Structure 1
Amino acid sequence: MSISDIKVRSNRKTVFVYIIASIVALVVNSVYGIFSHGVSSGAMTWMFLYPLLGGAFFYVVMGVLIPTANRINGYRKFYNLYNSGIATLTVGSFLNGILEIAGTSSPYTIFFYFAGGLLMAVGSIAFSFKLLMAVSTKEIK
């Protein structure tokens, strides 16, 4: 097994983990819905979309368009920043859903969305810059 096989397998593992996270988010919403006395929250209902679209779908598309992306120097930094953004958005949506179901709100939940979006944006911009540098120096094809 070569290092490139391990890296491709790592991308598949990331997609698999994000699909599992989406399923867990759906199950959490369903279980929480049972005990919420018929009250629901849009934030909690749709929180599964962050790991599904932002995570699994994003990495599938990236794997198709840029299959050698994980060979770029600094890829792990992008990976960690971007994944932290997805996690922050998911947790923020969950917390916002709990507060909505409880019949209250907090002015601080907006910070989850801001921080999550910022982490994703910084990770994506850093990766785009590294990708352009890698292509211009012929590090990857």
Structure 2
Amino acid sequence: MTQAPSQHQAFRFSLPNTGIAPKFARELLVHLLHLTGHSEAAGSAKLLVSEVVANVYVHTDTPMVHVDVTVSPSRIRVAVWDNAPGACPAADPPSPEAEGGRGLLLVQSISSEWGVNWPANNQLRQKHVWFALDTDEKGAAA
């Protein structure tokens, strides 16, 4: 059994922005969470990272998706970066007939908190959508 980290650990992985990027992001994040003692939060994290990375694929022409993951004993934070800083993602309810548009509503309802950030010195023209999952001492989403 892997132990939860006693301090913050930070990781980054980058993926080509293709239709299979959400699957790669899910799989990489699940393995990372298992290795850092957060196996019980992997299900929620897997769903949320998939939704956010899928939004990058659908709504931007960013060539690469960068995923930053920070784990600590009580929190997992995931940030997904893209090069489309103009559009501000929002968790607005879609029409009942719409086939999509519910991903950020899932992020909002499952995560402990979430948001969108633009770096103060945004010369690279990037933004990131992030979410956090608070965890208990066993690594489960609280």
Query: TM range, normalised to the smaller chain?
Result: 0.3 to 0.5
- When Rg is computed on C-alpha atoms for both structures, the one with the higher figure is 1
TM-score w.r.t. the length of structure 1 is 0.32
Bigger share in strand: 2
TM-score w.r.t. the length of structure 2 is 0.32
Bigger share in helix: 1
